[in-house]
Amino acid sequence: MKFKSAIRMLAFSTAIAMTSIASASEDDAHAKAAGWNKGGGEQDAALHLTPNLENGLDVFEVCSACHLPEGWGTKEGTFPQLAGQHRKVLIKQLADIRALNRDNPTMYPFALPESIGDEQAIADVTEYIYKLKMNPDNGKGPDTSDMAKGEKLYKDNCVKCHGDIGQGDAEKFYPRLAGQHYNYMLRQFEWIRDGKRRNANPDMVEQIKGFSQQDMVDVINFVSRIPVPKEDVAPSKDYQNPDFD
Ligand code: HEC
Ligand code: HEC
């Protein structure tokens, strides 16, 4: 389809431009009163639709411009890994981005109904993404970071929501963290702490409000090194998604 391929090309050129910019951060003119998980809207609609995997792959081609065909994102953390993330988390984040409840100026135009379709497209593409095998070589934090301190901070402040091996909780919309890129997580963590990520969970904000810069580095470094269960990881870092050629 002509229209879809134009969107795809635009997405690819944006992705290339983005890789030279460290962060997608930008003041947001659309700031709205927002909440963490009010439900309703596209999120609920997508959760209740029957996904069409074939269309999911078609939509994912647009996403692959930035998140790569394997859904692995980029190691330096500009683009997060999506592969292996819980489907409910993916649905919530996509719906939030579309509703401007989470700032993502780079991705926003490509996530809109005009580009990919209505809530059925959300149901379809997330069904495709969550089953993708994860990157065996995610971005890690600095070697100089204090692992023992990071582990203790994680146990005391994060396990109750993100789980003992960073697996998150699909039912409660708590993201999987293990396997995610360090720089992406550090940026999100800081934005959540400082109230910049509007869809953040208020209990998490409360839990981490006293974290210093060094605490953040130590805990996120620890998280970036939690091994992902073998069955969820691709066989090698040279693995290529066979649906793309
Ligand atoms: C032009 C580049 C670009 C395209 C195309 C793109 N994204 Fe993204 N996406 C990003 C960036 C950059 C972020 C991280 C923003 C941030 O740091 O807050 C992101 C974040 C996300 C997140 C949040 C991840 C998380 O862990 O919370 C989801 C979900 C997502 N994208 C899904 C998609 C889907 C599905 C598509 C295709 C329909 C898509 N993206 C297309 C750039 C893109
Ligand atoms: C009360 C539950 C809770 C606690 C405690 C908590 N989190 Fe979270 N965290 C969440 C939820 C829920 C989200 C997703 C928010 C949303 O929907 O946008 C999240 C998001 C994140 C993200 C962004 C993930 C992504 O894919 O974008 C990171 C990184 C993170 N948490 C790290 C931590 C760390 C590290 C700790 C401990 C220091 C912690 N969290 C404590 C519930 C929690």
State the distance from the centre of ligand 1 to the C-alpha of 148, rounded, in angstroms. 32
Both 117 and 151 in one domain: the answer is no
> What's this model's pTM, rounded to 2 decimal places?
0.94
Domain assignment present for residue 138? The answer is: no
> What confidence tens digit (pLDDT) does each residue in 139-173 have?
999 999 999 999 999 999 999 999 999 999 999 99
Both 69 and 173 in one domain: the answer is no
Both 93 and 49 in one domain: the answer is yes
Q: Cα(243)–Cα(245) distance, rounded to whole angstroms?
A: 7
Domain assignment present for residue 137? The answer is: no
State the distance from the centre of ligand 1 to the C-alpha of 210, rounded, in angstroms. 29
Both 98 and 209 in one domain: the answer is no
Provide the domain limits for residue 56.
2-130
Domain assignment present for residue 203? The answer is: yes
pLDDT value of residue 34: 59
> What confidence tens digit (pLDDT) does each residue in 176-211 have?
999 999 999 999 999 999 999 999 999 999 999 999
Report which protein residue has its CA nearest ligand 1's atom 40. Answer: 63
Q: By C-alpha distance, which of 165, 160, 137 is closest to 223?
A: 165
